[in-house]
Amino acid sequence: MEKYSNIPELAKQYQLTEFKFDTECIYDKGDLSYLISHIIDATLPGINISIVEEVSVDGSQYVATLSNGALNMQIFADTDADWLPDTFFIQLESIPVFFKSGKFYYSIIPAIGLTGQDAWYFCGTETNLKAARKNGIPLIFPGEDITETQEFKDM
């Protein structure tokens, strides 16, 4: 979309790191931890987080346990589907906050048609993410109703 052609320049201006991934990417044990580790490596290089993935006792979920030695969190995906559950995105967005990185993950508003089945995120400080949104990157803030954003209303 022409309207959003300046996203790369804005990301650079506001020192944001972008990452995208296919939301239908979980086929086997290891896929969940692989995805998460690549996101963390690209966006939070100074944070030492190890990831161990297991299958739940009942076999229904992949369970990725993230740890920095002092803090642990778990992220889940279903074993009977290749797409990531809605809870994954909430858990993903909490990683930089949980591990006290000083950064946040905000996603592009999916409903405006820029992402297809991909998820598209930006990582940065809250101040820079808010400034980037104000200046043209169509980010959705945590807890915000997508249908209430100006970008959605302008569609």
What are the pLDDT digits (tens) for 33-92? 999 999 999 999 988 999 999 999 999 999 999 999 999 999 999 999 989 998 999 999
Number of domains in the chain: 1
pTM of the model: 0.90
Q: Which two tokens stand for residue 151?
A: 């970008």
With beta carbons less than 8 A apart as the criterion, state whether 97 and 124 touch: no
Q: How many residues does the chain have?
A: 155
Tell me which residue has tokens 């970008």.
151
* CA–CA gap between residue 140 and residue 144 (Å, rounded): 6
35 Cβ contact list (under 8 Å, min separation 6): 21, 25, 26
Residue 48 CB neighbour total at 10 angstroms:
11
Range of the domain at 57: 2-153
